Chain A
Amino acid sequence: MTETIEFRLNGKKVSVQLDASKTLLWVLRTHFNLTGTKYGCGEGYCGACTVLIDGSAVRSCITSLGEVAGKNVVTIEGLADGDKLHPVQQAFVDNDALQCGYCTPGMIMNAVGLLNDNPNPTHEDIIWGMENNLCRCGAHNRIIEAVETAAADMRNKK
């Protein structure tokens, strides 16, 4: 059933006339053309579709549009401040923490969510916080280093 759903998306207020049961991933990719959020498994197992909802990392492939009504949604496209990359994005670049890049937006959004919850994570906290984001190219070691680098960088800026 079509209804009006309002939420904030990458800092802007948006309003859509859609069925509330639609999947957030596909609304982002098709309705808003925000294609940085990727389909990987469709069942919440891989993390390629991760976005932030009110600052927490959420799998958009198992989240309905209705669930984000009135909330603040951030996708990979909304993370940088103009041309200035978010510290986590910058740390991925600086640590060469990607290969094919397909899991990368989800990895970055998950890491931002992790650092929002815990700005001072241990090595183990990062491993277990990233555990359910899958990478097939095997960039894991560098991703962990990137999250550690970003965490230090964000603490220093505060």
Chain B
Amino acid sequence: MDEFNDYKDYLKSHSSFPGIRRRDFLRLMGGGIYIFFRVGSAMEIMAAEGDQNRLPNDLNAFLQIHEDGTVTCFTGKIEMGQGVVTGLAQMLADELDVAFEKVKMVMGDTDLCPWDMGTFGSLSTRAFGPYLRAAAAEARMVLLILASEVIGVPLEGLDVNEGVVFNRKDNKQKVTYPQLTEGKKIERFLSEKPEVKDYSEFRIMGQPRFRVDSVEKVTGKAKYSGDIRLPGMVYARILRPPSHASKLVSVDTSEAEKVEGVQIVKDDDLVAALHEDPEMADKARRLFKAEFAGDEKPISNENVFAYLNENAPEGNVNINEGDLETGKKSSENIFENEFHDGYVAHSPMEPHTAMAFLEDGKMTVWAGTQTPFPAKSNIARVLGFEEEKVRVKPPYLGGGFGGKSAHQQAVEAARLAKITGKPVMVDWNRQEEFFYDEFRPAAIVKINSGVDDNGKIVFWDYHVYYAGDRGGETMYNVPHQKRTVYGRGWRAPGIHPFPTGAWRGPGNSTNTFAREVQIDIMAAKAGIDPVEFRLKNLTDQRAIDVLTEVAKMADWKPAQSPSKRGYGVAIGADAGTYVAHIAKVDVDTRTGEVKVLKVWCAQEMGFCVNPQGATIQMEGCINMGLGYALKEVVEFDGGQVRTSNFDTYEIPRFSWIPEIDTKILDRNAPPQGGGEPAIVCMGAVINNAIYDLTGARLFEMAMTPHRILGALKNV
């Protein structure tokens, strides 16, 4: 996974992490009980994927049980709408036996929270969660030991309800958590694995909980980076190149300097106009006269896939089972197809924003970032500061989706704050947001596969270029298969004319699109209903379960596709979770416009900590997925990003939104990811539904009206 790989060098260069020191904590914090714990699970996931990196031995989170009975969890994770602020609090409250309302989350502040590599990969619940639960169980045990001494009853004779420890035989004999922690400072480390609760004992986990931050957000009180106000602050408007290939040759700022109250900064490649009034800063920036030069890569919307094919790097074979030639010989029909997926922008509603201020030698940066700790390290490196002289404090994020793993704006703000000594706001406008976005990469998938005369898939030769292998698993039971991956993950440096990065369910939406469309093509040719064809070739019980469930939800009536009814089906797996979707669509064959009428989605994610939050993530995935499936196209010519605003970049609107019916399957198994899985099927399920209605098959996303009209001509 790219995000892990990106920190490889970083991890190697640090023998220990400069996160918060325990003695500093204890000096800063009041009384109470502290439980420190460390997280290794994300790395275990990595190890399972063949990477042997280890997190250094340092603590990664801690709890503080206050004297007033409230509990604070300090975690380096951040909240960007995905709702971990609620789900993590549920896990903690349940294991510790306190009321949900007593738990407060402090997130992402690099001075208060222990080091964390970043919030991505749907890892917060599945990787961080078990450690949080274990720590809470440990804290509960510490409190029980203290209570045992106070009440004079052995541990076995005690029970806890909402922070009150009592004698099981005489519930008048009781003591509260606040009474136990009063006046004490107890530091404990997790040494052995404590017993966490069994699923049958959960009282708060598994219950639907609404967002805890909604009142702040509906009243306008919730603070995002751009809402930070400091005396004497200035807004920075930075000179931007016309293309990612451009290098600054010269700049004349003399006209800009005439704007009253403006300060111009020229520091190497960073040229900025700063003003207390953002509109005056804008005005000054428009007066910059700059010359740039650079050689463009000969790639644009017109030739993107030809260019990417021609420049493909060597492939790595990730899976090679059986013998493809043997598979081909036993095939009745062989299918060879190439699938294309274009560049897609994250376009969160809040552009990248950061406020930075240097005070008493310490740089504080309020930044909307998914990676506060790596941001801190980068800022320290660029400024030449010791790491402890930089603090990154992420307020709420106005969306991330992977795009705010990049934190260029925070570095820019810190550089300008260091130079000027003023609080500096760097708030990108929409054009800058599109220009610097690390797009989901354009990618190619080539599949050669075959089916025997019993409708069984007998071989599967899969080649994925530039998307990476996430979601590239065959999923189906195929005796002869090979999977070759070209380019490292979703970044493939040196190929694309601009940076690419992780976009919600990275790689997986591209891989699932290709696989599930290819499966549909094979089912149609074999003359078998697409749900039946899938079930016939699946042995993975979790996949069978979600597919069976979604077919039941949609009251699926078996038919050979195209049935002219407009129903499509697709399955996928991401972040440890399985999903199956059915969509019903309508297509205007005159305009090529698609209306997705209804989407059914069944999801199996192990134990679901917060069914409300998870359902909302599924809905969000389905709606957001309409965009990449149908409309989102980044216009570019070499390193020039022509897309600059929402007039041409079409993201889902109210009139596009389908009726949505979701179901989460009950499972008593470790919780898995929920922020991304339900987006990965959206391309395939809509493609298959369009085919079912019209007989037109598309091989490229986004499936724009123009491309749909083209496909209809081939029917």
Contact = CB atoms under 8 A, between A and B. Distances in A.
Interface in A27-41: 29-30, 33-41
A96 B398 contact: no
A48 B276 CA distance: 23
A138 B619 contact: yes
A134 B217 contact: no
Interface in A103-134: 103-105, 108, 126-128, 130-134
B715 interface: no
Instruction: Name which of B216, B276, B396, B399 has the most chain A CB atoms within 10 A of its CB.
Output: B399
A23 B657 CA distance: 32
Contacts of A134: 349, 646, 651, 653
Interface in B660-694: 660
B54 to A, nearest CB: 33
Contacts of A30: 276-278
B401 interface: yes
A42 B432 CA distance: 12
A96 B347 contact: no
Contacts, number: 172
B4 interface: no
Q: Which of A29, A40, A105 has the most CB of B within 10 A?
A: A40
B504 to A, nearest CB: 10
B620 A130 contact: no
Grouping DSSP codes into helix (H, G, I), strand (E, B) and loop, the A interface class, with mixed when no group exceeds half, is loop
Nearest to A124: B655
B349 A103 contact: yes
Given A77-B220, A134-B646, A22 B279 contact: yes
B646 A108 contact: no
Contacts of B647: 43, 45
26 contacts: A26-B277, A30-B278, A33-B229, A40-B351, A43-B647, A77-B219, A77-B221, A93-B215, A98-B81, A99-B81, A100-B396, A100-B400, A101-B81, A102-B224, A102-B349, A102-B398, A104-B217, A128-B654, A134-B646, A134-B651, A134-B653, A135-B349, A139-B620, A139-B623, A140-B652, A143-B654
Nearest to B425: A30
Given A77-B219, A141-B660, 11 more contacts: A38-B226, A41-B645, A92-B214, A93-B214, A98-B81, A98-B214, A101-B218, A133-B654, A135-B349, A138-B622, A141-B619
Interface of B: 80-83, 210-211, 213-224, 226-227, 229, 276-279, 347-351, 396-401, 427, 429-430, 612, 616, 619-624, 645-647, 651-655, 657, 659-660
Contacts of B397: 100
Nearest to B209: A96
Contacts of A157: none
B214 A96 contact: yes
Residue picked from A23, A41, A99, A133, most chain B C-beta under 10 Å: A99
A105 B224 CA distance: 13
Contacts of A143: 654
Contact of A99 (B218, B429, B620, B653): B620
B215 to A, nearest CB: 6
A53 interface: no
Contact of B657 (A40, A136, A140): A140
A14 interface: no
Nearest to A93: B214
A124 to B, nearest CB: 9
Query: Dominant SS at the B interface?
Result: loop
Given A38-B398, A40-B430, A136 B651 contact: yes
B396 A36 contact: no
Contacts of A37: 220
A141 B659 CA distance: 8
Contacts of B223: 35
Contacts of B653: 131-132, 134, 140
B84 to A, nearest CB: 12
Given A38-B350, A96-B616, A101 B217 contact: yes
A100 B349 contact: yes
A5 B24 CA distance: 51
Given A89-B218, A131-B653, A142-B619, A99 B612 contact: no
A103 B624 CA distance: 15
A45 B81 contact: no
B380 to A, nearest CB: 28
A36 B277 contact: no
Nearest to B224: A102
A3 to B, nearest CB: 16
A136 B217 contact: no
A141 B401 CA distance: 20
B219 A46 contact: no
Contact of B215 (A23, A40, A85, A138): A85
A140 B221 CA distance: 22
Nearest to A106: B349
B398 A101 contact: yes
B645 A99 contact: no
A59 B624 CA distance: 24
A75 interface: yes
Contacts of A152: none
B654 A140 contact: yes
A41 to B, nearest CB: 5
A7 to B, nearest CB: 19
Contacts of A130: 654
Given A22-B279, A102-B224, A131-B655, A138 B214 contact: no
Contact of A35 (B210, B220, B279): B220
Interface string A36-63: 1111111101101000000000000000
Contacts of B276: 30
Given A100-B349, A102-B350, A85 B218 contact: yes
A39 B427 contact: yes
B579 to A, nearest CB: 15
Contacts of A139: 616, 619-620, 623
Q: Which interface residue of B217, B229, B396, B653 has the most chain A CB atoms within 10 A?
A: B217
Given A85-B219, A137-B620, A100 B81 contact: yes
Nearest to A75: B220
